[in-house]
Structures are given as C-alpha cells and as structure tokens.
Amino acid sequence: MFLVLTGAASTAADDDARQQVLVDRAALTLEKFLNDPEMDWLQKNLPYAKGVFIVPTLVKAGFIWGGSGGNGVLLKRDQETNTWSQPGFYGMGSVSFGLQIGGSVAEVVMLIMTRRGMESIYTANVKLGGNASVAAGPVGIGAEGATSITMSADMVSFMRAKGAYAGVSLDGALIKISHNANKAYYGRDVRPVDIFVQRTVGNPGSAKLRDILNQASR
C-alpha cells in the first residue's frame, strides 16, 4: 500500500512540474514580445485586453499546408482591479496557419479584446473565427494605424518564429481546455469559471507570469 501511495504522489508531482514548466516558458515568451520594438501595438493594447493566450511552442508540420499544435495558458484581466487571474491550460491545433514565416516551431501571443472573445474560450472547445473573430496583429512600422478589422476583432494574434515577428490570423484554429493539466496544477478538478471568474484556485508558481502581466498593464 505504501508503494502504491508513494507512486501516486510521485505521478501527481511530475504532472504539476510539467505544467509549471509550461507556465515558466509562457513567461519567457511574453517577455520577448513585450521587449521587442516590433510589438508596439501589442504592448500598448495589452492594458486594454480582457485576456491573453500564450503558446510558447507551436509546432507546424508540413509545407504551407499541414498540421499545427501546441499547449498554452490563458489568463484573464479583472477590469476593476486591473490584476490578472491564475493561468488556465489549453491546447491549440489547426490544419494550417496560412502565413509561414519560417521554421517549424513558433511562439504565439494572442490578445483577447472583447467580452465575447473571452467568454467563448470558457467552453471546452472553441473554433476561432466561429463564435469569436480573430485578426492578425499589426507589427512594426505602421502598427499604430491598425485596420478597422484589427480594431474590431474579438482576438488579435501575433507569432514569432526564428527571431522574426509577424501578425498572423489564427482563423480556424481549435482551442480546447486541458482538464487534466488544470487538475494537475491546482490539485483538484476545476472549471474555467473557477480560475477566471470566481478565482477560487491558485498556485504560487504562476507569480512571475502574473507579475509580468500586472507590470505591463499599468
């Protein structure tokens, strides 16, 4: 019995460690985008975002047309306190991301700009461009003069691959909540509403990521 209990505890600890690695890598990815002058629009509009979705590693297979996928974290901003929630864990996949900016691995940061966009991702599965619109974020020179499509979109996405940055539309991408990852990180079964609205769960390992967001939102 002792061996069984010890094994179960070890597995839970390993699962938590894997999710912590994802949170730490999400913090590094976000810092890269916030420190890059090409990401001026993202930096200026983050304080107005309802939420942010960060995928540290998006793997693209095939040439032009191919499968893509990665794991990421979603955080929601409280408009009254201007503070950010604990992370929720999600997976993202798509048949194609259209614009190929080089390489088979990329980083993605997506700002969720509207209440509709934020609430749509509470569901177990959401197809971007369906219940919520998504647009490629403006990058570099001319980013301040963003198009009306970008300004009215529910979500605005950015991608980085091999040091190159680009706004890329994730229209058609599928996002699915990872219940197992959330359970591993918080030690019990949780719903998106528990994480983002009621805020009844917490993990001190997210402090760095949340601090970066809190500082950037001031």
At 90-114, the pLDDT tens digits run 999 874 554 445 556 789 999 999 9
The token pair at 121 is: 């991702």
Give dist(CA 73, CA 201) in Å, integer: 15
Q: Classify residue 114 as exposed, middle or buried by CB count within 10 Å of its CB (0-12, 13-18, 19+).
A: middle
Q: Is the pLDDT of residue 144 over 70?
A: no
Q: What is the DSSP letter of 86?
A: -
| Residue 136 host element (H or E) | strand 134-136
Q: Is the pLDDT of residue 150 over 70?
A: no
- Give residue 141's pLDDT band: very low, low, confident or very high (50, 70, 90): low
Q: What is the pLDDT of residues 2-16, one digit of tens each?
A: 444 444 444 666 777
pTM (two decimals): 0.85
Q: What is the pLDDT of residues 26-80, one digit of tens each?
A: 999 999 999 998 899 999 999 999 999 999 998 875 544 456 789 999 999 999 9
- The residues, any chain, with a CB within 8 Å of residue 152's CB and separated by 6 or more, are 133
Cα of 91 vs its chain's centroid, Å: 9
Cα of 9 vs its chain's centroid, Å: 29
